[in-house]
Structure 1
Amino acid sequence: MLRILGKASSINVRKVLWTCAELDLDFEREEWGSGFQSTQDEAFLALNPNAMVPVIQDGDFVLWESNSIIRYLANRYGGEHLYPTAPQLRARVDQWMDWQATDLNGAWRYAFLSRVRQSPAHQDPEALAAACRNWARNMTILDRQLERTGAYVSGDTFSLADIPIGLSVNRWFQTPIEHPPLPAVQAYYDRLNAREGYRLHGRNGTP
């Protein structure tokens, strides 16, 4: 039985849960992270020295880093429909997953901590305005890509890239900032909501 360590509210844990839903994988999940068992516990640090969730245990195999985990699960459990083996198709999926992990992820961090987490260290008006502009710029890049494909991030079919990006799109709409009109992103959001895994994990259980 696959074991997942991490709280279900974590955006990175939700990547793994959504991937399991797409692959119809059974798993056991343990609550680790803020508010639950501490990731500073020696038993957890022995699995992930970075003290971050998620971590998976698949038999004797241990893996951390959410994008690495979902790639592994797709490779291990018949997920070629999510993560194609053809080199160019796979490279396109990897490209957008890496873009999410670097450019897009970095773009929303300050605004999310300021407006959702209400972090006292992230309340500088100029820094917040700059972060919102950068986030909107990256979302515009996504909107143009979705206009080109007419469906999903890497092409006309749902892929592994849509899992981290779909979670980021949910965060965009759920963060109380000004949202410029991005019709392709809105249509994509609606399209993802037709997937049970997204309703359960991508939108954190919200309709």
Structure 2
Amino acid sequence: MIKILGKSSSINVRKVLWTATELGLGYEQEQWGSGFRPTDTPEFLALNPNAMVPVLLDGEMVLWESNTICRYLASRSGETALLPADPAARAAVEQWMDWQASELNNSWRYAFMSTVRQSPAHQDAAQLAAGVAHWNRHMAMLEGQLADGRDYVCGQAFTLADVVLGLSTHRWLSAPIERPVLPAVLTYYERLSERPAFMQHGRNGQP
């Protein structure tokens, strides 16, 4: 059985938990990270030198980076619903996953640290305003992708792109910031909320 190391409140751990649940995979979870077992110990650093969660253990294999773990689990399952076998369809899913990990994640860092984490180092009013605008601009890009009537990010089928972007959407809607009204994003969020695995690991009270 696979083992997932990481605390359940982490957005990146929740990606992996949601994916495993969607795939019906059995797993064991160990709580690592702030408030639980520390990740800066030699034991954990031997698994992930970045000292970050999640980490996946599958037999002798050790894997880190949440989006990579999600892709691995989908491929491991032998099913192609979440990660298509067709090269073009798969590339579209991975494109949006990579965008989430690089562009979208970077857009919310200052605003999230300021408003949700209440970090003393992130309380500059001008930088906060710029950060909120940056975050909203990127969410408007997701609105554009969804505004043509598609049910999910890459079309009418739920994929791994929706796992990572669904959690990002939840974070945006949960943050105490000024947001534009993005109707397609809101409809998308409610559609994801019909999935029990999202309610368990995504829309579960954690920002």
Confirm whether residue 69 of structure 1 aligns to residue 69 of structure 2.
Answer: yes
Aligned counterpart, 2:169: 169
Matches within 5 A, 1:95-110: 95-110=95-110
Letter in structure 2 aligned against 1:43:
E
Cα offset, 1:45, TM superposition:
0.7
Q: Which runs of 4+ in 1 moved over 2 A?
A: none
Task: Measure, in 2, the Cα distance between the counterparts of 1:22 and 1:37.
Answer: 27
* 1:188 counterpart residue number: 188
Is 1:63–1:69's contact at 8 Å kept on the other side of the alignment?
yes
Superposed displacement of residue 149, structure 1? 4.8
Q: Which position in structure 1 is the counterpart of 2:152? A: 152
Q: 2:22, 2:54 → 1: CA distance?
A: 18
Q: Distance in 1 between matches of 2:3 and 2:193?
A: 26
With normalisation by structure 2, the TM-score equals 0.97
- Residue 28 of structure 2: SS of its match in structure 1? strand
In structure 2, C-alpha distance between the alignment counterparts of 1:54 and 1:28, rounded to whole Å = 13
Preserved contact between residue 132 and residue 177 of structure 1 (Cα < 8 Å): yes
Deviation for aligned residue 1:205: 5.4
Measure the CA separation in 2 of the matches of 1:82 and 1:26. 17
Pairwise CA RMSD = 1.0
Structure 2 counterparts to residues 5-154 of structure 1, below 5 A: 5-154=5-154
Secondary structure, aligned partner of 1:157: coil
- Report the Cα distance in structure 2 between the residues aligned to 1:51 and 1:135, rounded to whole angstroms: 26
Offset, 1:155: 1.1
What is the percentage of aligned positions where both structures have the same residue? 60
SS of residue paired to 1:161: helix
Q: Which 5+ residue runs of structure 1 have no aligned equivalent?
A: none
Q: How far apart are 1:203 and its partner, in Å? A: 1.4
Q: CA deviation at 1:42?
A: 1.1
1:72-100 superposed Cα distances (whole Å, 9 cap, x missing partner) = 00000123100001000001001100111
User: 1:35-85, CA deviations, whole angstroms, 9 ceiling, x for partnerless residues?
Assistant: 111101111111111110000101111100001000000000123100001
Q: Deviations over 1:99-128 (max 9, x none)?
A: 111111011111110000000000000000
1:149/1:73 CA distance change after superposition, 3 Å: farther
Q: What is the rounded CA distance, in whole Å, between the counterparts of 2:35 and 2:79 in structure 1?
A: 33
Unaligned runs of 5+ in 2: none
